[in-house]
Amino acid sequence: MKTPATRVAITGLAGLDNPEPGLATARALRAHWSGPLAIEGLVYDPWATGGWTPGIADRLHLIAPIAHGDAAALNRILAIHQEHPIDALIPCLDLEVPVYSRLAGRLAREGIQTLLASAEDIAAITKVSLHGFCYSHDILTPHTVHVRDLSAVAVHADHFGYPLWIKGTVAGAKKVFNREQALFEAESLAARWGGGVLLQEAVEGSEHVVAMVARANGSCLSMAMMRKIGLNARGKGVIGSTVDDPGLRRLALEILEKLHWRGPLELEFVRSHGSGRFYLLEVNCRFPSWIFLTEFAKANLPAALLREILAPGTRAPRPAQVGVMYARDIQEISVPAASITRLKRSGSAAVPTRTPIRRHRGDIVVGVTGISAFELTQPGLGTVRCLRAAPEVGRTIGLAYTPNDTGIFRRDLFDVCCRIPIDATPDNASAGDERMLERLLAIRKKHGMDVVIPSLDLEIDRFHRIAPELQGAGVRTLLPTPAARRKLSKIGLSRLSGQGALGVLEFPETIAVRNRRDLALAHKRFGTPMILKGVDARAARVYSLEQAEVVWSRFKEDGETTILAQPVVFGEEFGVGLVCDRSGRLIDSVPLKKLVMCERGKTWSAMATPLPMVVDQLAELMAKVGWHGPADVELIRDSTTERMSLIEINPRFPAWIGYAEMIDRNLPRQLVLAALDRPPALPAIDGHRHQDFVFMRTAEEVPASAVSMATLINRGEIGYGKD
């Protein structure tokens, strides 16, 4: 007799580069649950990219926004329950846990079980209430003030002293170092989350987090302790390891007792460098987004929770193995457009199954830089996904600058990862060139690298300078010359636009800002919002002259010599990835419309769309300046004039380049062939396939290891494939 499936509904499948915990929770259940399991993913819109991850949720269902109230939430869940029965519900977002806690009794009467703390107990530990809770229970926590009126932020911030943390009332936190930054971040966080902001003393130390499951009687069913090892610039733990700290365990259990908790829980601490004591930073009423680590550590907390929901009084799982690590990388997928349309129209859709990468074994060995998702997703990760599918490519080499580059843990993408030198002396370019050349030649000698593809803006000049020596040793590159780059830089494009040389494309009016007077002039001319940009990278949108001054100062402090101001162009965003041969002829391109962007403006969902006039114009432009190799072109279609504005052209592939292979337009493959002076690959026979698939990116925790990191440092490389 067939065992009936356990049916669980999970929320929190969105979040992009700051992933909500639902995907990791669902993935953990999928990895561990012993019997048949059906997962219903509950999402607020079709662009919850994590929900579309193949092999995790069976179906996605649109649910009512929390703002519509408890009744709307209940009615929608019960409607889904009628079509696809649910045994257990695991809400994974802070704001929805109190809602489902209030609905728990009614859900249970319909056969949907939950294990959640009471709404009152949840209210006691929200970000706004936590300081009071800690005070009344004698729990050490950083000094915190809730400032409802933003005009009082400056006074309180100065009173705290700097640095300090500015926190949103629900989520989001920024460390600030002066009053101007405090005001800037407070405005931004309050606008997003409402209710003012929290100002919190910055306790310097290491960050430790505890995930727990509490039984209905408040006792601890299971616990895992993690220390954040690699934190990115936004303070997010990208690399972490399970630990066993008896003091932290004791403290977490003491706090649990005071919380009267039921269900999943996360306690965040900072251990002061000065005193060695743990300060409680936050209590979250759901699993953390790193919870998949507990599967790696053989103490799967989501599975323990589900067992406890379905059959209370289960045995505690074994303790988490210590020293087990994760790294947060990314996964890129293509989703049939028809599935997204179905979800929008009918409110439910099946999640398509996975199409594995078709691995080939050709004769070419390719090295790729920019293989990390530690800060932003770098283009090397997508590039190598494409190369894995190229029939001519046999082996791929990941070229990493640090052991924090998340790509070094991707044994599915690389045969070997080699460390390359960071430019320790930026003032002495030739010494840096020499070190890089020496290292790449050593890699060539050991691993037979035929082609190298630098994927980061700041590397292109260096690789161009050492290209002749590399070619002499048998390593080919295909890169734009500095002259071509200058002509198509932001300043160059502004000049070409002035000469009327951009044809059907426009370029936003640009002012070079050398001082505060120029900034005020730009503000007067463009109004707000206005964009401030560095010449090579970075850009920020500002909404007032005061914000503009903060951003301008920050850019200057970070070493930007030329800062440009432009008016914001309102409209849909597009991108074109392309590759040119050594004569500047466009070999192939992928134009797309950007559908979902993360907070930092990077593309997390997009769809190929034909832009023949734009591509023709770009081909003409590239030929005119003699562009070689890859380019990432960013455009906005002005919503008023419908004209296409060129925003910038970058001398490498876009970070979404992995999509090119999914739609049979493998640009990295074309680049490798062109670099080796081989004829380009023929276009795919099914030329319409690209219109049927949407690109999506989601975060993915992968197993990491301290040994791999140490090996990269000690030996300079980690091998995954067979030589």
What residue ranges bind other proteins (CB under 8 A)? 206, 227, 229, 240-246, 322-323, 706-707, 709-711, 713-715, 719
Cβ-based neighbours of 187, under 8 Å, separated by 6 or more: 150, 547
Q: Prior bond to 163 cis, omega within 30?
A: yes
The nearest distance, CB 246 to other proteins, in angstroms, is 8
Spell out where 141-291 has E strands: 144-147, 164-168, 173-176, 197-201, 205-214, 220-231, 237-243, 263-272, 278-284
Q: What is the DSSP letter of 235?
A: S
Q: Which residue type does 611 have?
A: L
Interatomic CA distance for residues 605 and 48, integer angstroms: 10
Q: Which is nearer to other proteins, 201 or 245 (CB)?
A: 245
Distance of CA 434 to the CA centre of its chain: 33
Q: Is the distance from CB of 118 to CB of 103 less than 8 angstroms?
A: no
Q: Which residue type does 329 have?
A: D
Spell out where 599-723 has E strands: 603-608, 629-638, 644-650, 693-704, 717-719
Q: Is the distance from CB of 402 to CB of 371 less than 8 angstroms?
A: no
Q: Which is nearer to other proteins, 243 or 631 (CB)?
A: 243
Q: Which is nearer to other proteins, 374 or 656 (CB)?
A: 374
Q: Nearest Cα to 589, choosing from 577, 580, 581?
A: 577
Q: Which is nearer to other proteins, 431 or 707 (CB)?
A: 707
Q: Which is nearer to other proteins, 153 or 248 (CB)?
A: 248
The nearest distance, CB 328 to other proteins, in angstroms, is 16
Q: Which is nearer to other proteins, 61 or 419 (CB)?
A: 419
Question: What is the rounded end-to-end Cα distance, in angstroms, of the chain?
Answer: 48
The residues with which 635 forms a beta bridge, in sequence order, are 574, 646
Q: Which is nearer to other proteins, 586 or 709 (CB)?
A: 709
The nearest distance, CB 134 to other proteins, in angstroms, is 24
The nearest distance, CB 716 to other proteins, in angstroms, is 11
Q: Which residue type does 317 have?
A: P
- Burial class of residue 287 in the structure, from the number of CB atoms within 10 Å of its CB (0-12 exposed, 13-18 middle, 19+ buried): buried
Q: Which is nearer to other proteins, 323 or 474 (CB)?
A: 323
Using CA atoms in the order 619, 621, 625, 631, what is the torsion angle rounded to 10 degrees? Answer: -60
Q: Which is nearer to other proteins, 324 or 675 (CB)?
A: 324
The nearest distance, CB 709 to other proteins, in angstroms, is 6
The nearest distance, CB 264 to other proteins, in angstroms, is 23
The nearest distance, CB 340 to other proteins, in angstroms, is 40
Q: Which is nearer to other proteins, 273 or 541 (CB)?
A: 273
The nearest distance, CB 208 to other proteins, in angstroms, is 9
Q: Which is nearer to other proteins, 83 or 244 (CB)?
A: 244
The nearest distance, CB 723 to other proteins, in angstroms, is 13
Using DSSP, state whether 131 is helix, strand or coil: helix
The nearest distance, CB 434 to other proteins, in angstroms, is 24
Q: Which is nearer to other proteins, 374 or 507 (CB)?
A: 374
The nearest distance, CB 319 to other proteins, in angstroms, is 12
Q: Which is nearer to other proteins, 312 or 323 (CB)?
A: 323
Interatomic CA distance for residues 555 and 538, integer angstroms: 9
Cβ-based neighbours of 150, under 8 Å, separated by 6 or more: 183, 186, 187, 190, 196, 197
Question: What would you report as the CA-atom Rg of the chain, rounded to the nearest whole angstrom?
Answer: 26
The nearest distance, CB 275 to other proteins, in angstroms, is 15
How far is CA 345 from each of CA 41, 61, 342, 666, rounded to the nearest angstrom?
17, 11, 5, 32
Interatomic CA distance for residues 155 and 255, integer angstroms: 33
What are the two backbone dihedrals, phi and then psi, of residue 105, each rounded to the nearest 5 degrees?
A: -65, -45
Interatomic CA distance for residues 23 and 11, integer angstroms: 8
Interatomic CA distance for residues 720 and 408, integer angstroms: 10
Q: Could you write out the DSSP letters of every residue in 453-473? A: E--SGGGHHHHHHHHHHHHHT
Q: Which is nearer to other proteins, 323 or 721 (CB)?
A: 323
Tokens of 551: 């951003």
The nearest distance, CB 701 to other proteins, in angstroms, is 16
Q: Which residue type does 545 have?
A: L
What are the two backbone dihedrals, phi and then psi, of residue 329, each rounded to the nearest 5 degrees?
A: -110, -160
Q: Which is nearer to other proteins, 242 or 477 (CB)?
A: 242
Q: Which is nearer to other proteins, 204 or 244 (CB)?
A: 244
Spell out where 454-562 has E strands: 505-506, 511-513, 530-534, 539-542
Q: Which is nearer to other proteins, 240 or 370 (CB)?
A: 240
Q: Is the distance from CB of 673 to CB of 659 less than 8 angstroms?
A: no
Cβ-based neighbours of 491, under 8 Å, separated by 6 or more: 510, 512, 535, 562, 564
Interatomic CA distance for residues 704 and 711, integer angstroms: 12
The nearest distance, CB 658 to other proteins, in angstroms, is 29
- Burial class of residue 494 in the structure, from the number of CB atoms within 10 Å of its CB (0-12 exposed, 13-18 middle, 19+ buried): middle
The nearest distance, CB 288 to other proteins, in angstroms, is 16
The nearest distance, CB 712 to other proteins, in angstroms, is 9
What string of H, E and C letters represents the secondary structure of 361-373?
Answer: CCCEEEEECCCCC
The nearest distance, CB 713 to other proteins, in angstroms, is 4
